[in-house]
Chain A
Amino acid sequence: MKTSRADVLFRYVTIAVASVVVGLFVVYFVELVSGSSLTLSEGFVFITSSIWTDVAFGVYPMLWGSLVTSAIALCIGVPISVGVAIFLSEISKGRLRSTLGFLVEMLAAVPSVVYGLWGLFILTPILSTYVYPVLEQYVGFLPIFSCPDTFVPCYFYGVSVMTAGVVLAIMIIPIVAAISRDALMAVPNSQREAAYALGATRSEAINMSVLSYARSGIIAAIFLGFARAFGETMAVVMLIGNERVVSTSLLHPGYTLASLIANEFSEASSPVAVSALIEAGLVLLVVAFMTSFIGRLMIRRFLRSREAASYL
């Protein structure tokens, strides 16, 4: 068919607009690197030092806080999410499946600042009254739940690394559950039938053949859940206490890279302080980009191999 000038023009317009997505991507890295040049030249001291003053900038405590809160979120959130995914894809059907699936999706629709408000006024008092004292009493010999005697218990105000991690766990459930469910649903039925033919019960079939088949999809979901938890800002800044300390105890307040930026950006006094905060953003960008990239790549591979398998 004849290609008119309008056709060519339209095609180039759409390409140009689509390139905004690619362009944005490049701009992120270029701008954050050039914006943080004042402190970037200091090298790795930035992530290994714990000293944060008006002239020296080290984000080790915040990097630690980001990693620990994300780890808590994964430890609590992933088993729940995988359970939800199994229930939605293997056990429930019809109306129950769609209704419960919708409710879990709605967890993702709640704005993160509302999680922060709810966490601060509803969850924090519950945790610091009923959960943390019990943890300290029975497993307080573990460094992660220790709480050295001071005038008031370390969880007195309730805001802590643990509180932030628990709320992050709730926040990553919808994304991890949704991707795991898609992975489970992509498992061909022949896989289940084979297990049933061997006399397996439903749980054995899920364990033996469905979960192992969907494994890479579930791991991808964990990567994306980590990226979400690592970069989450508002809920964490309201719940972690924003103290620049490295503590092995999860019941202590802490700080994260994202909450550092949110909390201190408007008060940054000098160009070099702004540069340091932008570099914190660069660290966030690189980590979130890498985990998100790997996760997406794994999903793509997983779905492709499933497509190929379905032709066999």
Chain B
Amino acid sequence: MRLRRVISDRLWVGFTFAAVAIAIVPLVSILADVAYQGIAAMNVDFFTMLPPPPCPPNSVCTPGGLGDAIQGTVILVALSSAIGIPIGIISGIYVSEYGKNRYGSSVRFLGDVLAGIPSIVTGVLVYLLVVVPLRGYSVTAGSIALGSMMIPIVSNTSAEALKSVPNSIREASHALGIRKWRTSLLVAAHAKRAIATASLLAVARITGETAPLLLTAATSQLWFSGFGEPIASLTFYIYFYGTSAYGNWKALAWGAALILIVIVLGINVGVRIITRGKGAYSS
């Protein structure tokens, strides 16, 4: 009887360990394959040239790269951050400093629910709100789509960061006769590190988005030519070239995946290293 219980205990622990192993194997495989195939596609042309024509077997391939997509991703992410981060942080200040009421907690709750809405639906929404009135896919529409996805994420994570600032800071500020609004900004300044990391993680999250861009910004085969014009992105080419039938296009898709993974995991690992061992409210 006792032995049976010991064995079942070991089996149970073994099962949980196996579950962790099963979860981590795909991650390792993805990183290894993207690194292996992606590095093979890397060269100077990849960063500086426009996409090449498809190259069927037994034909001479013209060189090309994804310079336009790298440029497009940088522009889209920068613009959407400019929309999403400020709105998100101010909304977070409301939730944390003024929102100890029903409305504040519903903003927080709806933020969580909004973050769970499929990103393709965000694409449909921005198509209706921006693409239809402007009569065409554009950088602006793509940035609004990605920016609106950032708002609830940044709002809730920065509210979390602000809430963990000790109350003694607020009390000290009040005691010095500093007005409430300046106190809020002081609290925000106190949590600036945590807010910055939260914003960076939101940037990492939207850099990898594809679905909303299909309905808002994609695509063009040219360099950036204005905010009212469509633009390519790294994620779009991973989809478009990855599902194509041509070897040279597939190679470019792996290259794009490598750059994307380096950016996204780089931000995540960087944030992790910076925040390690820090106190609760600076992390």
Nearest CB of B to A214, in Å: 14
Bound state CA distance, A20 and B88, in angstroms?
9
Residue contact B117 to A115, C-beta cutoff 8 Å: no
Q: Which of A162-177 contact B (CB under 8 A)?
A: 170, 173, 177
Q: Which of A78-93 contact B (CB under 8 A)?
A: 79-84, 86-88, 90-91
Q: Which residues of B contact A103 (CB under 8 A)?
A: 24, 27
Interface status of B44 (Cβ within 8 A of chain A): no
Interface status of A32 (Cβ within 8 A of chain B): yes
Kindly state the interface size class of chain A when it binds its partner.
35 or more
Residue contact B16 to A228, C-beta cutoff 8 Å: no
Residue contact A14 to B174, C-beta cutoff 8 Å: no
Scan B247-266; emit 1 where CB is below 8 A from any A CB, else 0: 00010011001001100110
Scan B74-104; emit 1 where CB is below 8 A from any A CB, else 0: 0000000000000100110111011100011
Option from B8, B13, B242 in Cβ contact (under 8 Å) with A116: B242
Residue contact A284 to B121, C-beta cutoff 8 Å: yes
Q: Which residues of B contact A204 (CB under 8 A)?
A: 5, 9
Residue contact B113 to A296, C-beta cutoff 8 Å: yes
Interface status of B118 (Cβ within 8 A of chain A): yes
If the complex has contacts A14-B93, A104-B23, A234-B211, are A109 and B265 also in contact, measured as CB distance less than 8 A?
yes
Bound state CA distance, A166 and B66, in angstroms?
31
Interface status of B209 (Cβ within 8 A of chain A): yes
Residue contact B113 to A292, C-beta cutoff 8 Å: yes
Residue contact A261 to B124, C-beta cutoff 8 Å: yes
Number of B residues with CB within 8 Å of any CB on chain A: 88
Q: Which of B51-59, B177-185, B191-199, B220-228 sits within the interface?
A: B177-185
Bound state CA distance, A224 and B257, in angstroms?
27
Nearest CB of B to A67, in Å: 14
Q: Which of B1-54 contact A (CB under 8 A)?
A: 5-6, 8-9, 11-13, 15-20, 22-24, 26-27, 29-30, 33-34, 37
If the complex has contacts A118-B34, A234-B211, are A6 and B118 also in contact, measured as CB distance less than 8 A?
no
Q: Which of B230-277 contact A (CB under 8 A)?
A: 235, 238-239, 242-243, 250, 253-254, 257, 260-261, 264-265, 268, 272
Q: Which residues of B contact A13 (CB under 8 A)?
A: 90
Q: Which residues of B contact A292 (CB under 8 A)?
A: 112-113, 116-117
Nearest CB of A to B18, in Å: 7
Q: Which of A22-30, A43-51, A135-143, A247-255 sits within the interface?
A: A22-30
Among B13, B95, B204, which residue has the most Cβ atoms of chain A within 10 A? B13
Nearest CB of A to B57, in Å: 18
Nearest CB of A to B216, in Å: 10
Bound state CA distance, A115 and B13, in angstroms?
29
Majority-rule SS of A interface residues: helix
Interface status of B280 (Cβ within 8 A of chain A): no
Bound state CA distance, A112 and B239, in angstroms?
10
Interface status of A128 (Cβ within 8 A of chain B): no
Interface status of A281 (Cβ within 8 A of chain B): yes
Option from B113, B124, B181 in Cβ contact (under 8 Å) with A32: B124
Q: Which residues of B contact A278 (CB under 8 A)?
A: 124, 128
Residue contact B117 to A289, C-beta cutoff 8 Å: yes
Residue contact B30 to A118, C-beta cutoff 8 Å: yes
Which residue of chain A is the closest to B181 with respect to CB atoms?
A: A10
Q: Which residues of A contact B91 (CB under 8 A)?
A: 14, 17-18, 20-21
Residue contact B120 to A231, C-beta cutoff 8 Å: yes
Residue contact B27 to A107, C-beta cutoff 8 Å: yes
B-side residues, CB < 8 A to A, are: 5-6, 8-9, 11-13, 15-20, 22-24, 26-27, 29-30, 33-34, 37, 87, 90-91, 93-95, 97-99, 103-104, 106-107, 109-114, 116-121, 123-125, 127-129, 148, 151-152, 155, 174, 177, 179-181, 184, 204-205, 207-211, 214-215, 235, 238-239, 242-243, 250, 253-254, 257, 260-261, 264-265, 268, 272
Can you pick out 26 interface pairs between chain A and chain B where the beta carbons lie within 8 Å of each other? Answer: A6-B179, A6-B181, A17-B94, A18-B155, A19-B107, A24-B151, A27-B125, A83-B16, A84-B23, A87-B20, A90-B16, A103-B24, A110-B27, A111-B261, A114-B30, A114-B261, A116-B238, A117-B257, A170-B23, A201-B9, A202-B12, A228-B116, A238-B239, A262-B120, A284-B120, A289-B116
Q: Which 4 A-B pairs have the closest CB atoms?
A: A231-B118, A111-B208, A83-B19, A292-B116
